[in-house]
Amino acid sequence: MSSTTTQNRLTGRAWAVLFVLCGAIFLEGIDVSMMGVALPSIRAELGLSTSELQWVVSAYVLSYGRFVLLGGRAADLLGRRRMFITWLIIFLAFSGLGGFATEGWVLILARFVTGIAAAFMTPAGLSIITTTYPEGPQRNKALLVYAGTGAAGFSLGMVAGGLLTAIDWRWVFFAPVVLAALILAGALTLLPREVAPGKQESGFDLGGAVSLTAAMLLLVTTLVRAPDVPVTQTAITAIAGLPLLAAFIGIERRVAAPLIRLGILRNGSLVRANLGAVLLVGSFVGFQFIAVLYLQELRSWTELQTGLALTVIGIDSVLAPTLTPWLVNRFGNGRVIFGGFTFAALGYAAFLPLSAQWSYPAMLPSFILLGLAFSLAYGPLTIAATDGIPEQEQGLAGGVLTTSFQFGSALGLAVVAAVLATADELTVEGFRSALLVPLVAAGLGLLIASPGLLRLRQHPDPL
């Protein structure tokens, strides 16, 4: 066996560290998807209005989207291990609070703080991977396993949510507490300790943090509320965020230690990867929303039946850490991402012939194609977004990528919901019109991936 092959393999301790970090992204994924299945039961027991119920979801999305860039930079400045463990504890505590809630406002508060915790914990965990494993095959392997685990959490969460809700919806909150406690024990034992940041590194850009956080709040609020409020209100909140973004850019150009070094956005690979992340996740979340409404509202399937039907998409949890690394090594990152968007476009197109009496075997090709799409695109986009970034900015790069995933999720959901809202009732024709949204997004993803494909034809990926 060659020394190069040996160096490219992960050691037992490296796998153990990765297992802990994968547990955290699995926790984040399963927490989000279980909640959607439990909402009807939560409404029935707590007597929530439709508006209050919507905020059980929106509170998490708003706080996550508002703080994730700040969370990424905090990991760089204050210590990745410290941020990961601290916010994992907060995640655990407030998830438990949600399980004990007897009033709607307590549940909404718990989801808001849980979203903040995820916004700090997730980029910290991703940056631990990108700074612990050397750039190249080891890091690629770790990132692909990490991405596949996150996607598996999201997929399995729909089934787990159905099963737990059948017992009691409060277990949707208590189950993450148990999982978080196990991850915390592993993190305290296994995560590498860091040297405390130097004085120059630990300067904090308060003005940049405040202006960016306020701008992100307005932007994410605009997307989340767009389907439910008049167009004029959407335009006002969107425009109101522009002066704050301008203020943020001005602050970042002047301060000695900016929250976000604007020069990082000149990295073409990072920008393309983040645009791809917006389109990949946005198209999938929009499609999932369509599929769930189609199955439950039009076809009268139960939550558990719907979750089981969509579980096949979780094939990416098997393929991402096994097949995708081989494909990246053989064909290069760009070609694999392009292939992922190709499968996504085919999957959405294959769902267009849906009818009021469509059989599950007719739907199955779309779900399999989307599982393949995530297998090929999600992890390689993560690699592209962090590759070549200096170690001291890996948390920031992770925060930018996580922001792109969250922004894409909110954008895809808002556009699809707006299309569906144009009809007085849900119909097959309305679902078909809404399906054009993820299909167009996947097509745009193909265009973004094409330059990388062309470049790799001239300069093969050395991985």
* Domain ranges within the chain, ordered by starting residue: 13-192+259-453, 206-258
Give me the half-sphere count of Cα atoms (radius 13 Å) on the Cβ side of residue 50.
Answer: 1
- What contacts 171, CB < 8 A, 6 or more positions away? 99, 164, 165
User: Could you read off the pLDDT of 367-419 as tens digits, one per residue?
Assistant: 999 999 988 998 899 888 888 788 777 877 888 888 888 788 878 877 888 88
pLDDT at 92: 95
The tokens describing 427, both together, are: 């119909």
Measure the N-to-C terminal CA separation of the chain; round to a whole number of Å: 18
Q: What is the pLDDT of residue 85?
A: 96
pLDDT of 278 reads 92
Q: What gap in Å lies between CA 461 and CA 141, rounded to an integer?
A: 15
pLDDT at 288: 84
Helix (H, G, I), strand (E, B) or coil at 199: coil
What was the pLDDT predicted at 451? Answer: 67
Say what the pTM is.
Answer: 0.79
Which residue ranges of the chain lie beneath pLDDT 50?
1-6, 199-202, 454-463
13-192+259-453 maps to which CATH number? 1.20.1250.20
Would you say how long the chain is, in residues?
463
pLDDT at residue 211 in the model:
85
- For residues 16 and 10, give the distance between their C-alpha atoms in angstroms, rounded to a whole number: 10
Can you tell me the distance from the alpha carbon of 327 to that of 333, in angstroms, rounded to the nearest whole number? 8
Q: What pLDDT is stored for residue 397 in this prediction?
A: 82
Judge whether 115 and 70 are in contact, CB under 8 Å.
no
